[in-house]
C-alpha cells in the first residue's frame, strides 16, 4: 500500500512572521492522520519554519534546487546547502519555473539528480498546457518530461522520488481537473513507469496539483492512482490546508 502525501507549495508568498504562524497552525492541526505532509517554503524561511516543525511530522521542503553541486552560479542554492537545514523534499520542474525561468526537461533532470545526491526527495512536476491537451498531446508531454529524468538518472532513481501531475491549465486558475481527467493521466504515468519497472510503479507516490481545494480534494484523493496532492493557493491558510490533508 502506498502512503499518501500532501505537500503545500507556498510559492513566493508570506513574511517570516506569517510563515511561522502558518507552520505553527499546521503543526497544531496534524492530529492522528498517518498520511505524510510537507510544506515547500521560500528558501529564506527554511530556518524559521524548520525550527517550528522540527519535532513534528510536518516535513520541510523547498520549491527548487540548483542543477549544479557548487561553484560560480550566482543566485542559486545547492542541495548541500538545503541539506544543512533538514530539507526533505525539493520541487523540481514546477510549471512556473519551466515557463517563467527557462527550466528545461534537461535542467530539471539535473536538479532532480542534485537533490537525490544529498538525500533530498525530488518532487518531479510534470503536466501539459491547455493547448497541448486540446491537441491530444498530454501523454506525450508527460512521457517526455519523465524520460528526460530517466535518461540522466536511470529508472532506479524513482525509488526515492515523488511525481506531481499538475496540468498547467489548472494551476492557480480555479479550474481543477475532474477526478476522472486526473485519474486518467495518473494511471497513464503509473503504467508508463511500470513498463520500465513494475515495483517502482507500484510504490511511487503520484500527487495531483492544480486548484485542489478543501471541497474537491476528497474526490481526487479517492481515485486509485492519486496518492495525494501538491497544493498551492489553498496551502497558504492552515485551516484549508489541514482540511485537504484530513480528506485523505
Ligand atoms: P494551485 O497551485 O493549487 O494554487 O493551483 C498548485 C501548484 O502550483 O503547485
Q: Taking the alpha carbons of 102, 105, 109, 115 in that order, is the dihedral positive or negative?
A: positive
Please tell me the predicted confidence (pLDDT) of residue 175: 85
What number of helices (H) and strands (E) belong to the chain? 11, 8
Which grid coordinates belong to 232? 498551492
Closest C-alpha to ligand 1, atom 1: 232
For the chain, give the percent of residues with pLDDT over 70.
Answer: 100
Ligand 1 pocket, residue 171 CB under 6 Å? yes
Ligand 1 pocket, residue 209 CB under 6 Å? yes
Residue of 231, 235, 237 to test ligand 1 pocket, by largest number of atoms within 8 Å of CB: 231
For residues 207-224, give the mean pLDDT. 97
Contact 231, 7 (CB under 8 A): yes
Closest C-alpha to ligand 1, atom 6: 232
Ligand 1 pocket, residue 231 CB under 6 Å? yes
Please tell me the predicted confidence (pLDDT) of residue 176: 87
Contact 125, 230 (CB under 8 A): yes
Taking the centre of ligand 1 as the mean of its atom positions, its distance from the CA of residue 128, in whole angstroms, is 14
Please tell me the predicted confidence (pLDDT) of residue 172: 87
The pLDDT of residue 1 is above 80: no
Measured CA to CA in angstroms, residue 11 lies from 136, 210, 228 at distances of: 29, 13, 19
Active site residues per annotation: 94, 166
- Strand, helix or coil for residue 110: helix
Contact 189, 202 (CB under 8 A): no
Contact 182, 211 (CB under 8 A): no
Which CATH number characterizes residue 146's domain?
A: 3.20.20.70
Atom of ligand 1 nearest to the CA of 231: 3
Number of separate domains in the chain: 1
Which grid coordinates belong to 246? 484530513
The pLDDT of residue 123 is above 90: yes
Tell me the per-residue pLDDT of 65-105, one tens digit each, with 9 for 90 and over: 999 999 999 999 999 999 999 999 999 999 999 999 999 99
Reported confidence tier of residue 193, pLDDT bands at 50, 70, 90: very high
Q: How far apart are CA 103 and CA 115, in angstroms?
A: 16
Which grid coordinates belong to 168? 498547467
Closest C-alpha to ligand 1, atom 3: 232
Lowest mean pLDDT: which of 96-110, 165-179, 199-213? 165-179
Helices 138-153 and 105-117 cross at an angle (nearest 10°) of 50
Residue of 125, 169, 233 to test ligand 1 pocket, by largest number of atoms within 8 Å of CB: 233
Ligand 1 pocket, residue 113 CB under 6 Å? no
Ligand 1 pocket, residue 232 CB under 6 Å? yes
Task: Identify each DSSP E strand in 137-195 by its residue range.
Answer: 162-165
Tell me the per-residue pLDDT of 227-241, one tens digit each, with 9 for 90 and over: 999 999 999 999 999
Ligand 1 pocket, residue 204 CB under 6 Å? no
> Which residue range forms the structural domain that includes residue 232?
5-245
Amino acid at each position: 500500500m502506498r502512503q499518501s502525501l500532501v505537500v503545500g507549495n507556498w510559492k513566493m508568498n508570506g513574511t517570516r512572521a506569517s510563515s511561522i504562524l502558518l507552520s505553527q497552525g499546521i503543526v497544531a492541526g496534524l492530529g492522528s492522520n498517518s498520511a505524510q505532509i510537507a510544506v515547500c517554503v521560500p528558501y529564506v524561511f527554511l530556518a524559521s519554519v524548520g525550527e517550528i516543525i522540527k519535532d513534528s511530522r510536518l516535513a520541510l521542503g523547498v520549491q527548487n534546487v540548483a542543477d549544479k553541486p557548487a561553484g560560480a552560479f550566482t543566485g542559486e542554492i545547492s542541495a548541500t546547502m538545503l541539506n544543512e537545514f533538514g530539507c526533505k523534499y525539493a520541487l523540481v520542474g514546477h510549471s512556473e519555473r519551466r515557463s517563467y525561468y527557462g527550466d528545461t526537461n534537461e535542467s530539471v533532470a539535473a536538479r532532480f539528480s542534485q537533490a537525490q545526491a544529498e538525500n533530498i526527495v525530488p518532487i518531479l512536476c510534470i503536466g501539459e498546457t491547455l493547448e497541448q491537451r486540446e491537441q491530444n498531446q498530454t501523454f506525450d508531454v508527460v512521457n517526455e518530461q519523465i524520460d528526460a529524468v530517466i535518461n540522466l538518472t536511470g529508472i532506479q532513481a524513482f525509488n526515492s522520488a515523488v511525481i506531481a501531475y499538475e496540468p498547467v491549465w489548472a494551476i492557480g486558475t480555479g479550474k481543477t481537473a475532474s477526478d476522472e481527467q486526473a485519474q486518467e493521466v495518473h494511471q497513464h504515468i503509473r503504467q508508463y513507469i511500470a513498463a520500465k519497472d513494475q515495483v517502482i510503479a507500484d510504490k511511487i507516490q503520484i500527487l495531483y496539483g492544480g486548484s485542489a481545494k478543501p471541497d474537491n480534494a476528497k474526490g481526487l484523493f479517492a481515485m486509485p492512482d492519486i496518492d495525494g496532492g501538491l497544493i498551492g493557493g489553498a496551502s497558504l491558510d492552515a485551516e484549508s490546508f489541514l482540511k485537504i490533508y484530513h480528506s485523505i
